[in-house]
Amino acid sequence: DGVEGTPENKERAVGEAMTARAIALSYYQGLGPPDLCCLTKLFVRAWLPMETSVPPVGYYHWVVGADCSCPAAVSTYIDALVRAQRRPQWYASGEYKVTKA
């Protein structure tokens, strides 16, 4: 369920990383903390794909040195993350899809 080459942390509740970062922002001086990238993923079953009983899962990682000066650069980074999403094994019952970034 991870992204190839990117160490991800799993949230206990979707959005908790953004809340913690917002609280901690006042403690940083200078350039501030690294950029936070949050992804919400949903497990889509190979069978019964319309089943929505599985809740979405939040993942986050820190980014240093990414170009955030324009929306196109951020979009390119997120597109690269989605494309690097690990594919399930052949025997898996489904896969994780990025639903929100």
Handedness of CA 10, 15, 20, 22 (dihedral sign): positive
Is 78 among the domain residues?
yes
Is 76 among the domain residues?
yes
Give the DSSP H or E segment for 77. helix 71-83
Between 54 and 75, residue with greater pLDDT:
75
Listed residue (80, 96, 76) closest to 4, CA to CA: 80
Q: 77 lies in which domain range? A: 9-100
Whole-structure pTM value: 0.74
- pLDDT band of 24, cuts 50, 70, 90: confident
- pLDDT higher than 90, residue 72: yes
- pLDDT higher than 80, residue 77: yes
Is 91 among the domain residues?
yes
